[in-house]
Structure formats: structure tokens, C-alpha cells
Structure 1
């Protein structure tokens, strides 16, 4: 079959301001098995060019595919865009099979199929094997009711087949890196970059996160095979930056250490960035030098909140002392720390923002990123807030950078002012400025300057968007009511 995989244009502030893009790993992962099975697959990365919906539709029709597949890593906020594109495609060419996938469609399959008759199939869960089985069945005219992990309409009624099992061997399906040809994917200051996964899933039960629910079980790649793949990307495609998509790649310290050692043995000049749990940094204190030798320049640490009671309620399973210790350990080994802090887990008052600032100052991270809690219906946290009112009904902006839930004690405009004040205080405090201009490592100074330049643009843009563009609803709509519309 002739298949076009599509990364739809997205409204994320970060990707627009940075003017840099990473390849859509999920779509490339699905494409690999299809190509190996003999199908003709091409990539249309509409997000890379930030194409208008009409331009995306035009290119789809020009390609004349038998099937199109759409998905985006920000699947909640991307879904309305996918709905609009696929509806236009169906009107122009009813022959094309329309397939979508991702976290949001996996859990909202019934709602999507009921409201969007143009969508033929939804891949629910890990896509590689399910998509291959779907395309094989379509090509052969097989029965889809026996194909696991699908949602579609049968006699006009949305149904979901039996769930597919986890992929046990993550090395069994290759990523179609060759589809990157024609795109200049960069990150970290216009350096050629890719997204990689060492593992899938997370063993921790944080109530606001859907990783453990979607991936079900934590698994990891073969350390040596992944190191070999990164070497290929470096030599063949000139990749310099590896951005790890894992929630927590070091859950298995033995396997993680083997990977670091295998990568070090390659003696490549790479820049590695990713996310990790603070307590794992503390756990790995004795071999953090391997992190540095492998090329890690920055880790994102999910601090989330200053209140131990809130952290316990959302089952973060972290402690203030380990958060501080992790940041200090990273600094001692020449690795930058970015602390992410989420607004909205509690009913914040002015004093809570003040306490949040005090805690962040005591942590003294190299960089900070403040986000807004965005409850997803499939997470346990949703049950805690399902009766709370929302202030933003534009699903395209449910991207953690826009306020979604109403706050009991503070108006939205006050919340964003407090958030912006915390950000500017953190980034302009003396210790941060000292590292920005006088850090002993030139490459880390360069990295911090790059992030600061982007952050400055985003800072002003978010204020402009909030006060002059984003329309907050004045109706009283609860979280539950929003999702049953």
C-alpha cells in the first residue's frame, strides 16, 4: 500500500519560538515495520513547516496515498487539528483510508469516532505491531474484528477490539530514520538532532501522568544495540544531539550503566539531554561521571510542587531533600539541571506562589520551567478534579503552557503574573547570571545562552497571548461537562 504518515501542524508555543524541530519519533517508529513489510511510506511533517490545514490537505491529495496516518506527541492539543484536516480530506477523496493514533485517541476513541465519521481506524496503544497488522489486514481484505488494539465503526457503531499486548522486545521493530531526508531537524542551537527512546513506561504511580497507564510496563532497549544505532545516526546523518523521550530512562540502573559505558566506548562527540527522576540521580551518585562522559548536558527534573502534602496526594514519591541533592550532584559533575514546577495542583493563594519561589531559590537549579496542570481524563488525577470548572475550552491550547482549570482564590491574570515573576526572578538571580556568563565550560555557557534567548521570547509571547489573544470562557463548565460535549 501507498501510505503517507503525517505530523500535523501544532500550536505549541515552544516549537514556534525556538524555530527548531525534532523528528516525530512515534511516526518514524510506525513507518519502519511498514517499509520492511514492503509498503511505500512517505513522511509529511507539516509541523516542521507549520503548514496551514489547507496546505496539508493539498499535499495529501497530491501524494495520492491509499492511506494516511496522523499522530502527534502532543496528542490532546493536536486532535482538533487532526479532525479538521481529515474531514477536509474525506470530502475531497473518500477513497483514502484515514488512520490516527496516539495517547489521546487511545482513550477517547469512542468520542472521536462518534463525532468524526471521516476517521476510519484508531490505533490504541503502542503503534508498531498494531499498525502493521492493520495495514496487512487492509491489503489482504482480512477481518479487522480479530485485529487487536483497534477502534473503528462496525455497522455504524464504534467498537474496540481486544487490547494488544505490550511489545516485549523494543529492538524488534526499527525506526525509519531514512524518512528524515529532506528535513533539517535541529535542537540545542541549530545542531542536527533526533529523539531517542531507551525505555518505555514508568514504574511510578504519579496520578497526573498517563505514562504507566499507556505503556503499561517499563521496558528498555538493548544497551549495545541502542549505542550502535546512535553511532549510525552520528556517522550517517551527522546527528550531534540526542534528546531522550523517556520519562525515566534509568529505572534499571544496571542496564542504564551498560548503555552509558557502551556509548562512551564509541568516543563520539555528542550532546545528550533528557528527563530523569531526582532520586535516581542520588542513587547513581557513584557513577554520575559516566553520565558526563557519555555526553549529558542537561536533565529535566520534575519538582512539581513545594508542599509535601500535595506531593503525597499526587503520589509523586519524591522528597525535597533528594531534589536539592540531585541538583547539587548534577552541578558537581558539570551537568545542567532544569526544574519543572506545576501550577494548579493545589488551590494556590499568594503565599503559595511566594513559598514556591522560595523553594525554587533554595534548589538553585540552572534553569526553570513553569507549567500549568492539565488533567487528562484517563489519569487518576482526573477523578480529583472532574467537578472543577475550566476556563479554557480551546482544546488546541491544552499544552501545559496555558491555564486550563479555574483557581478558587486567584484570578487567571494574577496567576500568570505570579508565574512570570517567578520565572524572571529565577533566571535573573545572581547565581544564575554568574553561571550564564562565567561557567567554566564554554559548551554549557552556550547551552544556557541558547535556552535564555528562547525563554525570553516565550516569556513575552505568553503574556501577549494571554492578554490579547486567548479567549477564556465565562461560562461555568466543569471538567466532566467539557469532555461529554
Structure 2
């Protein structure tokens, strides 16, 4: 039996930088299949620069029994297209889509996408292996935990399996990927790593808790060290993004990973996503982290007032944000701050206050995201119940396009303010001078990229104004 896992052609999020990241989830699934004797291949269209027609040839040449893909909400249309291509080649190919979006929209997905035979729900490692064994033995799909499928015109959902024991998983099958093709803006020898799964927090806009479950499951730091050493010594990776939902949740765990990096003499630059309050709580680890190569932290600032943070159930205060940014600067680390605009209560003044707040904080690289109610979140349930969702085109659910209007602004007005915020920050003379004259070469290079991005947003903004004038 042949399994083909596909990362479809897709446009990266410009606001996060110029990058191609490895499909870590597919590599993990492939590793589980491979160690159990299954013939598996990964096609990463982005890294291999494959067009849709070239992907079609790749699928035909592989002659797979099963084609699988994973889909975040904004990438559902591309995953759907992969499955349509597979069915067009051979209608007997079993098509499977997993990931966060389909986990939370099982009924809708199977009703609207006949090209998808099976939906994988939640973590996929147990599911994919059990499904392959079932297909090999021509067994009953209903006995495979964690899937959904159509039978006699009805959608059947099987019970979820137990959470994956993360330390029992093999290392991702990096050898099945074109590793030299992955980069992040100025870091051309780049890869992503997960040191844990899950997040115990309950932010209204985040679906991660619902997908991974309510607990936090850390990997053994020694195993993380093994993976980092493999990536550095065999694949020449020099920059690592820890893609954990909350890398700095446990100071001891984080510290042990740093010690592994130092003990193994791995010369890595790395960055992570974490929380401002936990950065303060574990501030005694900051010197160790810096010695181990930590250059940057991405923290969720999200808002400019305690009231807004409370509404997002962030369990964070503005004072904590201020202290966290100050601590990063004190220890020579760069801060990438995420902030949300276009929430239901936002007006033009509140959005501009967020811009001013980031300038006052002197965040190195702010990322403005538009409030997006993803399926699986409390925000989505509320927006659907109250009729706020103005589009169900999931390709637009990418945090750079308004899905709802606010109480004071239309979606078009939110879009204009989004463009204005990015452009204003990255063309501010003071911010620009600090970024472009930084002592860190990679920081200067990122600033040059963001200036180009800001220029594109300015052009979009003025082109929009011209079109409005012409229409008038």
C-alpha cells in the first residue's frame, strides 16, 4: 500500500515574513507510518516549487492508495483541490484530510466536499496508522477511531483515540523533505520544531486547546535535543522556530532544552512563541536562553487595554506586557509582538491607540492581525450565533482580511486601518532608524523586508482610494 502526503501550493502569510516552513505535521505522520513498514512519500509543492499541473503528474506517477493532506481554515480550499485532483486521476484513491478546520467542521466538510472520503479528527498519528491497517485488511472504517466519513447518505463519526504520548513518537521524517528549501526571511537554514503540544489557556480567539485537548504535554528535553542535533549536524540547520503554542509555559522544561543545546555544542539561533506573563515568571532563565541562542520571542500582546484583554480572556495585563518587552530588551532579545485589530468593539480610535501603544513599547517587529473567528473557537460560536459572519469563503480566514464588521466600522474600513497600521509603523522615521541601524544584521534585513511589505500596503491603500474616487 502506498500513502502520499501532500502539502499543496499555497501563498504564505506576508505579514509574518518571507518564508517556506516544512510541513512538520506531515513529516510526523510519515515517520509513524514508515517505522511501521508503510510505503509513504511526501510531496511539498511549496518547497519543490510545483505547480498544480506538476502536482497532478506527481500524484499520477506515485500511484498511491491513499492521498492525505492537512488543512488550517484558510487552506481548506487548497486541500480540497488536491483531493479533486486525486479523484480525477483515480476515483478509487482514498482521500483523507485532517487538521484543525475539518476537526471542528466535520458535518459541513463532508456534506460540501464529496472529493474527501475521510476526515481525520484531532491528532493524526494514531488515526493514520489505524486507518492504513484497516484499508490493508479491507476492514470496517467504523472501527477506526478519530475519523468521520459518509455511509448511506449519513455522516459517521467514530470516537476519538487517547491523546498521543509525545515521547513515544519517532522523530519527524525529515529525510522525506527537501530540507535545503526551507527558509525564514533572512534565515536560509531554517526549520521548525515542536517541544510540546497543547495549551492550558482559554483565549476566545484560539482553537489550539480544542484541537490538542486541555492539557499540556511536554517532550523529554533530551529527545528535543536529539532532534535539534539531527537538524543541525545532518541537515545543516542553523535557525529554529519552536512552534509550540506556549513554549515558555514551564521554566524548568525550557531551561533543560537550553542546557541540551549548550551541552551538545549546537550553534543555533532560535525563537519561540510564548506569553508575556510567563516570560516574567521565568525571567531567571533569560540569561541561559540567550547563551543557548535565543534571539527573539513572539508574544501575544493582542490589545492596548486591560478591558480588551479581559474580553479576549487572555488572562494578561498591560503592565505585564510592558515588563515583558522591557525584559527582552534588557537581555538583548528581539520582541515580535502580535496584536489584534477589528474586534467587535473596535473603532478607528481604538485601533490607532494600538498602533501608538506598540510604538511606545518600542516593539521590534509588530504583527497586526485582523480578528478572525476560526471554527473551534468561542469567537466563532458567538459570531455565528449573532449573525456577524459576513463571509464563509474560508480562503479569506487568514487574519489579514476582515470576516466581521465591528460595531463602528465596516469590513472595508477595518481593512484600510489594517493597511495603515502596518505601513505607519514600518515607515515611522524613529522606528525605521532603530530597525535599519540595528547592530544585528538579520534584524536590519527583516526591517528591509517589512519596509517592502509596508510599501505594498501603501500602494493598495492609495489604489483603493483612487478606485473610490473614480467610482464617485
Both structures adopt the same fold (TM-score exceeding 0.5): yes
TM-aligned CA deviation for residue 182 of structure 1: 6.7
Between the aligned partners of 1:450 and 1:64, the Cα distance in structure 2 is 43
1:106 aligns with 2:96: no
1:163 to 156, 160, 165: 160
Between the aligned partners of 1:417 and 1:164, the Cα distance in structure 2 is 45
1:12 aligns with 2:12: yes
Q: How does 1:192-271 map to 2 (within 5 A)?
A: 192-216=189-213, 217-271=215-269
Over 3 Å counting, the alpha-carbon distance change for 1:468 and 1:80 in structure 2 is farther
The answer (yes or no) to whether the contact 1:208–1:380 under 8 Å persists in 2 is yes
- Corresponding residue SS for 2:258: helix
Between the aligned partners of 2:457 and 2:387, the Cα distance in structure 1 is 24
Counterpart position of 1:415: 414
Between the aligned partners of 2:458 and 2:57, the Cα distance in structure 1 is 34
- Corresponding residue SS for 1:170: helix
RMSD, aligned α-carbons: 2.2
TM-aligned CA deviation for residue 449 of structure 1: 2.2
Between the aligned partners of 1:202 and 1:321, the Cα distance in structure 2 is 23
1:145 aligns with 2:142: yes
- Corresponding residue SS for 1:191: coil
1:457 aligns with 2:455: no
The answer (yes or no) to whether the contact 1:171–1:222 under 8 Å persists in 2 is no
TM-aligned CA deviation for residue 393 of structure 1: 4.5
TM-aligned CA deviation for residue 259 of structure 1: 1.3
Counterpart position of 2:64: 65
- Corresponding residue SS for 1:48: coil
Over 3 Å counting, the alpha-carbon distance change for 1:38 and 1:468 in structure 2 is farther
Counterpart position of 1:389: 388
Between the aligned partners of 2:374 and 2:271, the Cα distance in structure 1 is 26
TM-aligned CA deviation for residue 49 of structure 1: 4.5
Between the aligned partners of 2:217 and 2:242, the Cα distance in structure 1 is 15
The answer (yes or no) to whether the contact 2:101–2:375 under 8 Å persists in 1 is no
Structure 1 unpaired stretches of 5+: 470-485
TM-score by length of 1: 0.89
Between the aligned partners of 1:16 and 1:276, the Cα distance in structure 2 is 16
Between the aligned partners of 1:462 and 1:54, the Cα distance in structure 2 is 31
Q: How does 1:239-318 map to 2 (within 5 A)?
A: 239-318=237-316
1:76 aligns with 2:77: no
Over 3 Å counting, the alpha-carbon distance change for 1:231 and 1:88 in structure 2 is closer
The answer (yes or no) to whether the contact 2:276–2:321 under 8 Å persists in 1 is yes
Q: How does 1:468-483 map to 2 (within 5 A)?
A: none
The answer (yes or no) to whether the contact 2:2–2:65 under 8 Å persists in 1 is yes
TM-aligned CA deviation for residue 133 of structure 1: 0.9
Over 3 Å counting, the alpha-carbon distance change for 1:105 and 1:428 in structure 2 is same
The answer (yes or no) to whether the contact 1:13–1:458 under 8 Å persists in 2 is no
Between the aligned partners of 1:110 and 1:447, the Cα distance in structure 2 is 46
1:378 aligns with 2:376: yes
Encode CA deviations 1:57-110: one digit per residue, 9 max, x unaligned.
2321122111111114xx111111222231232133112111111000111122
Between the aligned partners of 2:35 and 2:316, the Cα distance in structure 1 is 43
Structure 2 unpaired stretches of 5+: 465-472
Over 3 Å counting, the alpha-carbon distance change for 1:301 and 1:190 in structure 2 is closer
The answer (yes or no) to whether the contact 1:9–1:48 under 8 Å persists in 2 is no
Between the aligned partners of 2:232 and 2:161, the Cα distance in structure 1 is 34
The answer (yes or no) to whether the contact 1:302–1:341 under 8 Å persists in 2 is yes
Over 3 Å counting, the alpha-carbon distance change for 1:219 and 1:102 in structure 2 is same
Between the aligned partners of 1:358 and 1:116, the Cα distance in structure 2 is 44
Between the aligned partners of 1:435 and 1:403, the Cα distance in structure 2 is 31
TM-score by length of 2: 0.92
TM-aligned CA deviation for residue 276 of structure 1: 0.7
The answer (yes or no) to whether the contact 1:15–1:21 under 8 Å persists in 2 is no
Counterpart position of 1:473: none
The answer (yes or no) to whether the contact 2:95–2:115 under 8 Å persists in 1 is yes
Encode CA deviations 1:171-229: one digit per residue, 9 max, x unaligned.
43331111124752122415211110011111111111011111112101100111122
Between the aligned partners of 2:463 and 2:423, the Cα distance in structure 1 is 21
Counterpart position of 1:180: 177
Between the aligned partners of 2:168 and 2:454, the Cα distance in structure 1 is 40
1:189 to 179, 186, 190: 186
- Corresponding residue SS for 1:41: strand
Between the aligned partners of 1:52 and 1:463, the Cα distance in structure 2 is 30
Between the aligned partners of 1:383 and 1:17, the Cα distance in structure 2 is 30
**Greater shift after overlay, 165-174 or 205-214?**
165-174
